[in-house]
Structure 1
Amino acid sequence: MTDKTPKPLAERLAAIENMEKRLVRNAQFVISKSKGLTVFDMFLLGAIKRTLSQALAFRSLVEGWNFSSAAVMVRTQLDTAMRINGIKYMTDADHDIAGIFEGKTTYRNLKSVDGDKMLDAYLKKKLAEDHPWVGPFYDELSDFVHLSFRHFWPILAGTDDANQTAQFVIHGQDPKKNEANYYDITDGFFKVTQLTSMLLVSFLMVRHRLPPTDYQKMWGIEEKEVGDGQEGSAP
């Protein structure tokens, strides 16, 4: 008989923390094989720092029962994945990234090889070409970034149908501390963090000419789709 008991929230958050550790370990492995660092590498390392910081913030917000702010972190993590994936579509990646690094331009002002500006809509479309779940997931997350009905339910503490009344609690923490409410968003954040982490390390590996077999070994995968929700085994 299959155990259908859902994983507790603590276990889901632990999976995110383990992904953070794996990202650091795998990035360190690649850098240790390099013969020098470029501005391009510094850009990727900065994105790794951002990914780790957002993961730490997400875990802290969930542990603090702050659903609304935690949901925003999922979107910002996905934004990182979109921009790292967008490197493939830059007209001259080294030149463009150097311009960003030196403050001469911004990512959104860059032109892609298709002639389009590197705006969110374009970046989302290109990432969704490889990972179809990204499109609808991004659109759903937009409800959390912009004020919408999604911000209503965390303030609802209870209802009384007989008296036709509702109780609201205006506080930084969610009034109903039911961890099941956080399962989907936590699993979504894990999926996005895994995708972001693997994109970052893969770009480092290509830059430093490490063979694909090393990539598969470090993530414990073979032919799985990046970001498919599989944790894999730690190297």
Structure 2
Amino acid sequence: MTIAIELDDLPDLESRLQRVADMAIEIERLPDNRYVPMGSELSDIEWYSLCAVIKSGAHAQAFCRAIRERNTVAAGAMLRLQMDVAMRLNGLKYFVDIEAAGASLMAGVSYRSIPSKIGKLFDATLIEKLNADHPWVKGVYDGGNEDVHLSRTVIMRKMKRVGGMLFFNLRPTDEHVSEQDYFHLVDTFFITLRLTRDLLASFLATRPGPDERARHKAARATS
């Protein structure tokens, strides 16, 4: 269980965003150490794992842009979507047959419909299981839901009292949000991205390595 979150403090927002971008690149490069040599066959579940790489990079790019544009609603939605990637990566270990699950997933079967060791893998189950090991994730998940759905939270965030008057901001930007709040949002996205990296690395460690793939590739070439 994760008791404490270790994170180096950084002096400004831009350095935090760079840390996010660097982590996205690290995730992008993870399969390079496993799904090699070039020309190796990938199983369905391995193809599915690459979706986590693509989505992590896309979410990180969109998140950083939203933060730079002071768009907390879009940034919060990207955070929630990244948590979705993490909880589905974590959920792979609960499938009864990982290879059959991969074939089903790549055929378009819904995640919750695939046989698992713990019953149907609804989103609530997936986040509960991930939260058991990392007790901070459910709070992030629930908070992110407020940015994904139409919610009171988004309305309240757009209100600002000036003197005796209450102003409501319809624009997507949030100039009145403090720098410290932006720091917190970016750091939370980073630790979610880092968790995704760790979960993907754990999955990749269960897959055939380069030597085994090279042997299979050679065997196919001579058959």
Same fold (TM over 0.5): yes
Matched, 1:147 2:155: no
> TM-score, structure 2 length as denominator?
0.82
Aligned length: 201
Aligned partners of 1:39 and 1:98 also within 8 Å: yes
Match 1:15 to one of 15, 19, 25: 19
Give the aligned partner of residue 218 of structure 2.
none
Give the aligned partner of residue 117 of structure 2.
113
After TM superposition, give the deviation of residue 46 of structure 1 in Å.
Answer: 1.7
Task: Give runs of aligned pairs for residues 1-235 of structure 1, distance below 5 A.
Answer: 7-32=11-36, 35-103=40-108, 105-114=109-118, 116-160=119-163, 164-176=164-176, 178-209=178-209
Look up the SS of the partner of 2:206 in the other structure.
helix
> TM-score, structure 1 length as denominator?
0.78
Structure 1 runs (4+) deviating above 4 angstroms are none
Aligned partners of 1:169 and 1:175 also within 8 Å: no
Identity rate, percent: 31
Unmatched segments (≥5 aa) in structure 2: 1-8, 211-223
1:189 aligned partner, one-letter code: F
**Higher RCO by CA contacts (8 Å cutoff, separation 6 or greater):** 2
Look up the SS of the partner of 2:27 in the other structure.
helix
1:151 aligned partner, one-letter code: V
In 2, the alpha carbon distance for the partners of 1:136 and 1:180 equals 19
Aligned partners of 1:58 and 1:73 also within 8 Å: yes
After TM superposition, give the deviation of residue 208 of structure 1 in Å.
Answer: 2.1
After TM superposition, give the deviation of residue 95 of structure 1 in Å.
Answer: 0.6
Give the aligned partner of residue 227 of structure 1.
none
Aligned partners of 1:89 and 1:112 also within 8 Å: yes
Unmatched segments (≥5 aa) in structure 1: 211-235
